[in-house]
Amino acid sequence: MSSGLMSYVWEGLGNTLLLTVFGALLGLVFAFIAGLGRSSERTWVRGIAMVYTEIFRGFPSLVLLFALIFIVPTFGYQLNPLFAGILALALNIGAYAAEVVRGAVKAVPPGQIEAAIALNFTPWQRLRKVVLPQAVVAMIPPFTNNLIELLKATSLVSLVYISDLTFSAQLIRASTGETALVFFGLLVGYGVIALFFTAIMKLLERMAARSLGRTVPSGLFGRKEVAA
Amino acid sequence: MSEPYSSPSSDVMIQFDRVVKKFGDHVVLRELDFSVKPGEFVTLIGPSGSGKTTILRLLMTLETADDGTIQVGGEYLSHMERGGKLVPADERHLRNQRKRIGMVFQQFNLFPNMKVLQNVTEAPVRALGLSKAEAEQRARELLEMVGLSDKIDAHPMQLSGGQQQRVAIARALAMRPQVLLLDEVTSALDPELVAGVLAVLKEIARTTDITFLCVTHEMQFAQDVSDRVMMFDQGQVIEDAPPEQLFTQPAHERTRSFLHAVIDRAV
Ligand SMILES: Nc1ncnc2c1ncn2[C@@H]1O[C@H](COP(=O)(O)OP(=O)(O)OP(=O)(O)O)[C@@H](O)[C@H]1O
Ligand SMILES: [Mg+2]
């Protein structure tokens, strides 16, 4: 492949990683706000959080992206396309991950919160020092799924001319005519990136488990946790 | 509440005044009255499901009463006085009241995300404002007292039930409570681990002036440490006597049949 075509690959890879990483970070913020909001004692907070998760889980990411790029400008703003891509992906994945946050917080045994009350922790300290450190451990495996979903969804941005990996593949295919080879290479590329993110998440999972005095068997596909 | 209320007095540590607690239609406490003096060790016995845990949870402010008042150390627990009337307490009042009360749970409830030492130091640092060094110094003393000096760096998951419960006792004591609530603290333990935990509690009862309210099925332990034993059934205290009297010559038929059932189960 010529160095001109290789530069497409690097640009595409860079943008795909950028969309995935920043989409995930922003999505995480939405997920925690909405997930904790849905666990709130206040009805109106729960209401807003529920509306967000229900609505944005229902929107296809692609339609959301089109909306951000083509509707928002009618209100006088022009979003940077890459930022619009990150925002659309984050809003969508955040709504899914919010359910993960809510479920993990709910799964912390009530006895833990009661012990924290008995030790006179403030409501904030109960959340920060007792509930979240335990809930986060349970969030990581489902977050891994969310992250891979997000990675796959990033390919949609090629439809609004953001030069991600899929868009670059289209350019290379157009200039070389090697359709089968290029798409095969693209599949391999996404597969390798997915393995890379899964390995990182696996590492986080083991670190989190260790913070609770548990160990996770090594190996990329080891799932079951056992007592130390 | 419109009725007049008795003025708080200082020779009573715990005072229940016509306390009513319902879960839906199910009335668990029926205008329950009892009091505990400072430094007393009082054991609560009674059938399963009668409401013993509920009494302790009310004192720990984990539940709120439907009617009546509870005072601890002469102050209302879940009420505040506002313009001569009693109104439900706000979070600030509750946090002030909780300072004086500690609880040890049947299931230990140690924080798995903290090592043993931090389980004991976290609350004194956060809630009492102790410096980290002070809290650690005190935690080491307490962990030595419960015989766990060598487990300071362990995770709770790595300890036996009996060890976890002894950490939980140290954790409660680190808050320097005036009142300590014990809810069947040995029920979840293997039989051979029970004695170690009870020995620790006996030692604390003997050497401190903490007021204890204890729910247990360990009748020998109750007899050894209690100043008084209260038999509780159907929402009321039906018998209240020193242990030697209550265990040997119970005045009520229900106490007698309950003790028979418990002691038969033990042999
Ligand atoms: N949160 C709750 N919701 C509904 N009912 C409850 C709740 N907590 C307790 N109860 C009921 O209140 C009654 C008293 O419960 P409690 O746990 O105080 O009994 P107990 O005397 O401690 O019993 P045990 O010896 O089995 O521990 C029981 O009938 C129980 O089912
Ligand atoms: Mg109970």
Interface residues of A toward B, Cβ cutoff 8 Å, are 109, 111-112, 114-123, 125, 129-130, 133-134, 211-214, 227-228
Q: Rounded to 5 degrees, what are φ and ψ at A119?
A: -90, 10
Does B143 reside within a domain? yes
Please list, in sequence order, all residues whose beta carbon lies within 8 angstroms of the beta carbon of residue B134, skipping any fewer than 6 positions away. Answer: B124
Does B30 reside within a domain? no
Pick the atom of ligand 1 nearest to B24's CA: 4
Evaluate: CB of B216 within 6 angstroms of ligand 1: no
Q: How many domains does chain B have?
A: 1
Evaluate: CB of B62 within 6 angstroms of ligand 1: no
Q: Give the model's pLDDT for residue A218.
A: 61
Domain that holds residue B167: 110-176
pTM score of the predicted model: 0.88
Give the distance, in angstroms, between the CA of residue B106 and the centroid of all CA atoms in the same chain. Answer: 11
List of domains in chain A: 3-227 (1.10.3720.10)
Contact between A17 and A9 (Cβ < 8 Å)? no
**Which of the two residues, B85 and B168, has the higher pLDDT score?**
B168
- Report the residue of B64, B101, B113 to disrupt the A interface, i.e. the one with the largest count of A CBs within 10 Å: B113
Q: Which of A3, A2, A18, A6 is nearest to A164 (CA)?
A: A18
At B249, the amino acid letter reads: Q
Q: Which residues share a beta bridge with B29?
A: B21
Q: Give the model's pLDDT for residue A72.
A: 86
What 3 state SS string does chain A have? CCHHHHHHHHHHHHHHHHHHHHHHHHHHHHHHHHHHHHCCCCHHHHHHHHHHHHHHHHCCHHHHHHHHHHHHHHHCCCCCHHHHHHHHHHHHHHHHHHHHHHHHHHCCCHHHHHHHHHCCCCHHHHHHHHHHHHHHHHHHHHHHHHHHHHHHHHHHHHHHCCCCHHHHHHHHHHHHCCHHHHHHHHHHHHHHHHHHHHHHHHHHHHHHHHHCCEECCCCCCCCCCEEC
User: Which parts of chain A register pLDDT below 50?
Assistant: 225-228
pLDDT tens digit string along B225-263? 999 999 999 999 999 999 999 999 999 999 999 998 887
Does B90 reside within a domain? no
pLDDT tens digit string along B25-71? 999 999 999 999 999 999 999 999 999 999 999 999 999 999 999 99
Does B166 reside within a domain? yes
CB contact under 8 A, B127 and A129: no
| Reported ipTM | 0.92
Does B60 reside within a domain? no
What 3 state SS string does B18-30 have? EEEEEECCEEEEE
Does B181 reside within a domain? no
Where does the pLDDT of residue B18 fall: very low under 50, low under 70, confident under 90, or very high at 90 and above? very high
State in Å: Cα A117 to ligand 1 middle.
Answer: 19
Can you tell me which residue has the tokens 């603290």? B185
Q: Which residue among A111, A133, A213 places its CB closest to the CB of B107?
A: A111
Does B164 reside within a domain? yes
Interface residues of B toward A, Cβ cutoff 8 Å, are 60-62, 91, 95, 98-99, 101-103, 105, 107, 109-113, 115, 122-123, 126-127, 154-158, 171-172, 175
How confident is the prediction for chain B on average, in pLDDT?
92
Q: Give the model's pLDDT for residue B1.
A: 41
At B52, the amino acid letter reads: K
Does B87 reside within a domain? no
pLDDT tens digit string along B119-135? 999 999 998 999 999 99
